[in-house]
Amino acid sequence: MKKIILALVTCVGLMAGAQASEGGLAWDKAPNKTNDMAALQNGAKLFVNYCLNCHSAAFMRFNRLKDIGLTDQQIKDNLLFTTEKVGETMKSAIDPKQAKDWFGGTPPDLTVISRSRAGAGGSGADYLYTYMRTFYRDETKATGWNNLAFPNVAMPHALWELQGIRKPVYGEREEHGHKVAVFKGWEQITPGLMTPLQYDQAMGDLVGYMQWMAEPAQNQRVRIGVWVLIFLLCLTFVAWRLNAAFWKNVK
C-alpha cells in the first residue's frame, strides 16, 4: 500500500503544468524510441510497475502491446498482476473513490500525457523525460522532494530507489547588478540501484512507451504518409507530361 500511495503522488506530478519550464530549466531532448521494440517493452514494464498502480490508461488495452512484440502469454505472465484479462483496458489498481478521499482528486489518466504536455520548451516527451530525471531531496518540502523541471512540486520521487538521492549544484552569475543562482549539475548523495546512465536509459524507455501509447499507430501513419507522398509525386509527373502532350499542337 505504501508503494501504491507513493507512486500515486509521484505520477500526479506528471500532469502538472508544463508552464514550469517558462523561464526555468530547459527541457532535455527525449530520445525517440517509438521504433525500438526492446525499449518499448521495457518502458511498458516500468509503466505497469510504477504508474499503473494508481493511474489508468483507459484508452489502451493490454492486447495492443502485441504491436510492440509481446505475446498474449508474455502479457499475462509479466504485466497482469490481478484479475485483468488481456483484452481489458489498463485500469489502475487503486479505487478512484478512495484516491479522491485521500488526495482530494481522482488520479488523471495517462494515455495521452506525452501529447498533452508539449509547450514552448519542447514536446511532451521532452517534458516527461526532463521531469523524471530532475528530482532532488528537499527537506523543506512536506514530501521531502522537489523537482527542477517543476519547482515546488507537491510529490515525492517514487523512483528514487532506482536513481538514488541527488542534489543540484549551483553556481552564480550576475544579471542586472544582482547575483542569481545558475544550475551547474548534480551531486550524487547516495547511489541508486541503477547507474546514472542506466537510469537515464530507463526513463528514455518509459517516456518512449508513453509516447507510443499516446498514438500506437503513429509509425504506421508515417510509413503510409511517405508512400502517399511518393504516389502523389509520380502522379504529378504523369499529369505534367500528359498536359504537355495534349497541348503541344495548340498555338
Spatial CB neighbours of 168, under 8 Å, sequence gap ≥ 6: 136, 148, 183, 184, 185, 186, 187
Bridge partners (DSSP) listed for residue 107: none
Please tell me the distance from the alpha carbon of residue 55 to that of residue 158, in angstroms, as a whole number. Answer: 14
- What's the pTM? 0.80
Output 9 or 114, whichever has higher pLDDT: 114
- The pLDDT tens digits of the residues spanning 215-233 come to 999 889 999 999 999 999 9
C-alpha cell at 91: 485500469
Please tell me the distance from the alpha carbon of residue 144 to that of residue 189, in angstroms, as a whole number. Answer: 15
What residue has cell string 516527461? Answer: 128
Please tell me the distance from the alpha carbon of residue 230 to that of residue 220, in angstroms, as a whole number. Answer: 16
- The pLDDT tens digits of the residues spanning 20-37 come to 444 468 899 999 999 999
Spatial CB neighbours of 85, under 8 Å, sequence gap ≥ 6: 62
